[in-house]
Amino acid sequence: MTSLPDLVCPAGSLPALKAAVDNGADAVYLGFKNDTNARNFAGLNFDAKTMAEGIRYAHGRGREILLAINTFPQAGRTADWQKAVDAAVDQGVDAIILADIGLLDYARHSHPSQRLHLSVQGSATSYEAINFCQREFGIRRAVLPRVLTLAQVENVIKNTTVEIEVFGFGSLCVMNEGRCWLSSYACGESPNTVGACSPAKYVKWDKKPGVMETRLNGVLIDQFGDDEPAGYPTLCKGRFEVQGETYYALEEPTSLNVLEILPDILKIGVRAIKVEGRQRSPTYVAQVTRTLRAALDSLRDGSERFHVKPAWQAELAKVSEGSQATLGAYSRPWR
């Protein structure tokens, strides 16, 4: 029997949390209804009551709840983020996912027994950075930014006793994690300041005959023909004219999908695999969770006979952004 990494799934609502638990997530990660988390969208996330119910539901079935407080305290408002940490401890979450080192320090000293994870937004890509956070703040797990090759992930794991969590599925962005200001460039707000990339109030989908235009605070991001798939209204996914040519100047809309390299991820000792998408619906959470659960379970008896079932790929392709998938930085043959 191979020990499997935890499957960590997203939830922006109670039905999504239950969908994750019912479909085989080992842990579910959530956020409060405010700008202490990077998916601060209207109508999304948990208040004290729904969080308590969600925790009861997950714990009653032997699963964990992780709480993301993964934005950076704004000047003059540090207390709001500290209160969020206190509230998370009071709620009894299994771990808090933090990005800001000031907040990590606060959590470590105010709640020494609380399990802390270093968020992907903390942008720690080396074992030195991770070991520093272990030494100073006692972090038990680090979520790696999506910029490392599998060999680099393995090197990190070999040189730290901190558990390593990697992304397994979900939308990709420019991966300048915790440091991206592209959204602010267009509208003055970004995940690091208000907890949301390209906030909806700045987004305009303009339907004209034969074409739909997407604008972010007036800036034309992209335009789609009637039968062309649409993408997220973010600058990084836009098509722009550069030196006379119009194309995806920053990156193509695509989703990360690690099914193909799942046995390798297990072999190098990854402790948890994370699914992106707290802003997505309970349906997405159910579809992705049950697919990755089935794939992971098929590895329980060893990886020799592992093969990626077409049904898994079809299910994940359906919910992928741009309906296409990539191994991202994990597979980069060049050095």
Partner 1 sequence: MNSSFIIPKFRLPGFVARLGQKLPQWPHALALVAGLNAALKMKLLPESELALLEDKLFRVRILDTGGEACYTYSNGLFRPVFTPQREPDLAFAAHLSAYLQLLSRQEDPDTLFFNRELEITGDTELGLIVKNMLDAVEWPKFSAGLPVFRH
For partner 1, the binding residues (CB under 8 A) are: 12-16, 18-19, 22-24, 41-44, 50, 199-201, 203-207, 224, 226-231, 279-284, 286-287, 290-291, 293-294, 297, 318-319, 321-323
Query: What is d(CA 152, CA 145) in angstroms, rounded to the nearest whole number?
Result: 12
Instruction: Tell me which residue of 212, 274, 217 sits closest to 6, measured CA to CA.
Output: 274
Question: DSSP readout, 43-107?
Answer: T-SB-HHHHHHHHHHHHHTT-EEEEEE-S-PPTT-HHHHHHHHHHHHHHT-SEEEE--HHHHHHH
Question: Between residues 105 and 228, which has the closer beta carbon with respect to partner 1?
Answer: 228
Closest approach, Cβ 308 to partner 1, in A, equals 15
Closest approach, Cβ 73 to partner 1, in A, equals 24
Closest approach, Cβ 291 to partner 1, in A, equals 8
Question: Between residues 227 and 304, which has the closer beta carbon with respect to partner 1?
Answer: 227
Task: State CA 132 to chain mean position distance.
Answer: 23
The token duo for 178 is 């915790």
Q: Which residue in the block uniquely carries the two structure tokens 């942008």? A: 123
Question: Between residues 50 and 184, which has the closer beta carbon with respect to partner 1?
Answer: 50
Q: DSSP H helical segments within the chain, as ranges?
A: 14-22, 48-60, 78-91, 101-110, 127-137, 150-158, 182-187, 191-194, 262-267, 282-297, 310-319
Closest approach, Cβ 106 to partner 1, in A, equals 28
Closest approach, Cβ 22 to partner 1, in A, equals 5
Query: What is d(CA 162, CA 176) in angstroms, rounded to the nearest whole number?
Result: 22
R_g over Cα of the chain: 20
Closest approach, Cβ 229 to partner 1, in A, equals 5
Q: Which residue in the block uniquely carries the two structure tokens 């605070």? A: 217
Closest approach, Cβ 270 to partner 1, in A, equals 21
Go through the chain and tell me how many residues it has: 335
Instruction: Tell me which residue of 119, 177, 130, 132 sits closest to 155, measured CA to CA.
Output: 130
Question: Between residues 130 and 221, which has the closer beta carbon with respect to partner 1?
Answer: 221
- Burial bucket for residue 308 (CB in 10 Å: 0-12, 13-18, 19+): middle
Closest approach, Cβ 165 to partner 1, in A, equals 21
Question: Between residues 220 and 294, which has the closer beta carbon with respect to partner 1?
Answer: 294
Query: What is d(CA 31, CA 10) in angstroms, rounded to the nearest whole number?
Result: 10
**Residues facing 273 on adjacent strands:** 7, 166
Query: What is d(CA 166, CA 53) in angstroms, rounded to the nearest whole number?
Result: 28
The conformational region for residue 73 under phi > 0 = left, psi -120 to 50 = alpha, else beta, is beta
Closest approach, Cβ 163 to partner 1, in A, equals 23
